[in-house]
Amino acid sequence: MAADTQKNNNKAGKPAKKEPQPLIIAKTPAEEQRLKLEKLMRNPDKPAPIPDRPKEWNPRAPPEFVRDVMGSSAGAGSGEFHVYRHLRRREYQRQDFLDKMSEVQSKNDTYQEKLEKNKLASDEKTAKKRKKREKLKQKKLAAKKAKQEAKGQNEDGDSNEKSSDSSDKEGEEDREAEDDAEVPSFIMGNK
């Protein structure tokens, strides 16, 4: 019977009755955030509402032509001063906004210049270090070639096959040892 009434409620377009939630009043911002998260986590399939970013305030554009110029001088009506005051306030707001925007723009420009300057400096530094590494690599290769040539000249005089096999093994070990060794970039201690 209870199932029939529930079906009837769904057919009529009414959702099934939910259990009433107790009213909880958040006393702190952290508690309010916790309550919002709990509400979102009750139904994780439902998409979370993400509000759009608020639009930045822009002042109204200044009028192209002012028909009745008024001031706060004597002879103006009592209501005219309030209109003048509002126009003046709006113009001051507009000018303050323009000043702030120009200041933000100048800060952005200086920041971009600083980024470019730092990038160029780091590129120069890496190029210098790359050149130094290449130079060191070339020195190592030249030393290896000189050593091999010296060994080749020594072996030509002895031309013994067993000794050449053992010297090849030793040469390979020497090359591996040289490849593993690095030139220290600093020396520790007071020596």
- What pLDDT does 180 receive? 56
- What pLDDT does 1 receive? 47
Return d(Cα 17, Cα 2) in angstroms, integer: 12
Find the Cα–Cα–Cα–Cα dihedral 114, 120, 122, 124, rounded to 10°. -150
Res. 39 pLDDT band, cuts 50 70 90: confident
Determine the residue type at 61.
Answer: A
Average pLDDT over residues 179-191: 60
Return d(Cα 101, Cα 109) in angstroms, integer: 12
Average pLDDT over residues 25-52: 88
Return d(Cα 51, Cα 183) in angstroms, integer: 59
Q: Reply yes or no on whether the pLDDT at 160 is more than 70.
A: no
Give, in degrees to the nearest 5, the angle at Cα 147 between 145 and 149. Answer: 70
Count the neighbouring beta carbons within 10 Å of the beta carbon of residue 121: 10
Average pLDDT over residues 47-53: 85
Residues listed for the chain? 191
pLDDT single digits (tens) 122-140: 999 999 999 999 999 999 9
